[in-house]
Amino acid sequence: MSTPTPSLTEMGILNPDQIVHYSLVRVSDDMDVLKINYGRPRGSLLPKRRSYEFKRIGKPMSGGDAAKVRMEISPLLSTAVTELDHLLSDQKATAATKQDLQAEIAEITKELNARLAHLSKAIDALE
């Protein structure tokens, strides 16, 4: 299952499935930095971390003072963060499913071993 990521693709991210973590930092009043960490395969020449800078957009505040400006996050950054959240939540759900399946296998193995031990004792009792 692949999550569509048009904003990340627009930013030049070609392997969104390799993203393992991201952080968003506001470095100044008019600048945000998005840092993305990748889980690259061994021997990959691609970077394990990339940073993207986004200018904030100045919007005049409503009211009497026209000199006041409210700085808003870039629309591209906003949609990219939404896509990253969705992408990483999908990866966590997959990991949880793997853990659930492994726990179920362990439980079945334990029950099977108990039944085999019981049958072995029953066979020994017949002799």
Question: Residue 1 has what pLDDT?
Answer: 46
pLDDT at 96: 75
Pick from 50, 44, 43: which is nearest to 19 by CA? 50
* Other CB atoms within 10 Å distance of the CB of residue 36: 23
All residue ranges of the chain with pLDDT < 50 are 1
- Cα(2)–Cα(85) distance, integer angstroms: 14
Edge-to-edge, what's the strand order for the sheet holding 49-55? 19-28, 31-38, 49-55
Whose structure tokens read 């029953």?
Answer: 122
8 Å CB contact between 52 and 76? no
pLDDT of amino acid 64: 62
- Does the pTM of the predicted model rise above 0.75? no
Q: Which backbone phi and psi does 14 adopt, to 5 degrees?
A: -95, -20
